[in-house]
Amino acid sequence: MSLATCRPIVIFDTSAVNAIYDDLDRDKKIHQLSNIYLPRLTFAVVDEVLATPDDYRRTQLFEVTLKLQNAGDCILPFHYLFMNHVRAFACGAKYDWTLVNCYGHKLKEAIVEQRHGLEDSLIREQRKQNLDLDKQFKQKFKGIRGRLQEDNEWRDRFQSLDEFMKFAFADDGPYWREAVAHVKRALQIWVEEEESKEPSDAKVIQELKEAESRFSLQDAIRFAESSPPFKAHIYGIACTAYSWVHNPSLNSRQRETAAGRIDTFTTLYLPYCRYFVTNDRGQFDCHRNVGSMIGNRARIFMYQDFWEELPYD
């Protein structure tokens, strides 16, 4: 076994990467990360760093990400990783989540290539896209909350997260149906990708279409039972929905600090690390709740707490 595989894997989200850049002990802490842990870089970090408006800060943040990935490895964007799991489960003869490709080798080249000479138009476009997608994500939940607040039966129906999750993931719970919709959409995207190839493989395309057509609620439940990443993904969406829509203890300002789109979807990464570090309270709460409910062994830390403990277990 190599030394790299013996080191516990740690994932820093974008807020934590920004925090380490702003840290007066930045170089010392990057050195500690490189020697004690195996940093696993996610594409979500690069995506958000790219959208940093200040030229100097963006360049320096890319340098930090480069140092982190040189000391560890890179993991696929969450949507590609999700799609890989969906295809392996829906179309494979025997699904083993640990055998599904998760590595983003091309990410290393992207970091090196993109940290210098980026066009302003590309940066503005990326920033606008990130903001628009996050706004749409939050507006969906705000719209649901607005409608439910007018319904006496639903306004104060759930007094705790546990109560909501039992409803959401009952045998015919609405978030199993949400899970089915996510899987079917992923398989449709696979069909589109296969159809765009020259030449395309009619047999593969038909296999994907049949898998999409027959995927059921019971399949979604079996998928979650056998796939910690998929279960983390679906539970993450439900936890965020509770914060934005149902949590009676949050006021409107507190809801605005709940997990956003990227914060929520990165729950998919929890089975791929021992420690997940963020400097965003909304993301911390979401990931901690998901990890606890799915029985994942990853420990979730706020940035400062991670450095105070320097865990190694």
Nearest to 246 by CA among 173, 123, 159: 159
HSE of 148, CA atoms in CB hemisphere, 13 A: 18
Torsion angle, alpha carbons of 14, 16, 22, 28, to 10 = -120
CA geometry: angle at 57 spanning 263 and 10, to 5°? 40
What's the confidence (pLDDT) of residue 50? 79
Write out the residue range of the structural domain in which residue 194 sits: 3-309
Each residue's pLDDT tens digit, 60-119: 998 898 888 777 788 888 999 999 999 999 998 899 999 999 987 665 565 555 554 555
Kindly state the greatest CA–CA separation across the chain.
60
Task: Name the residue among 48, 40, 60, 38 with its Cα closest to residue 14.
Answer: 48
Domain count across the chain: 1
Residue 79 CB neighbours (<10 A): 14
Q: Residue type for 29, please?
A: K
Task: Indicate the helix (H) or strand (E) that contains 271.
Answer: none
Ranges of residues in the chain whose predicted pLDDT is under 50:
1-4, 116
pLDDT at position 2, please?
A: 40
Q: What per-residue confidence (pLDDT) applies to 119?
A: 56
Considering only CA atoms, give the Rg of the chain: 20
* Degrees, nearest 5: CA angle 74-79-223: 105
Global pTM value = 0.89
Using a CB cutoff of 8 Å and minimum separation of 24, what contacts does 31-37 make? 32/310, 33/68, 33/71, 34/67, 34/68, 34/70, 34/71, 34/72, 36/7, 36/310, 36/312, 37/7, 37/8, 37/9, 37/10, 37/72, 37/275
First-to-last alpha carbon distance for the chain, in angstroms, is: 18
Give the model's pLDDT for residue 251: 87
Query: pLDDT, tens digit, for every residue of 207-233?
Result: 999 999 999 999 999 999 999 999 999
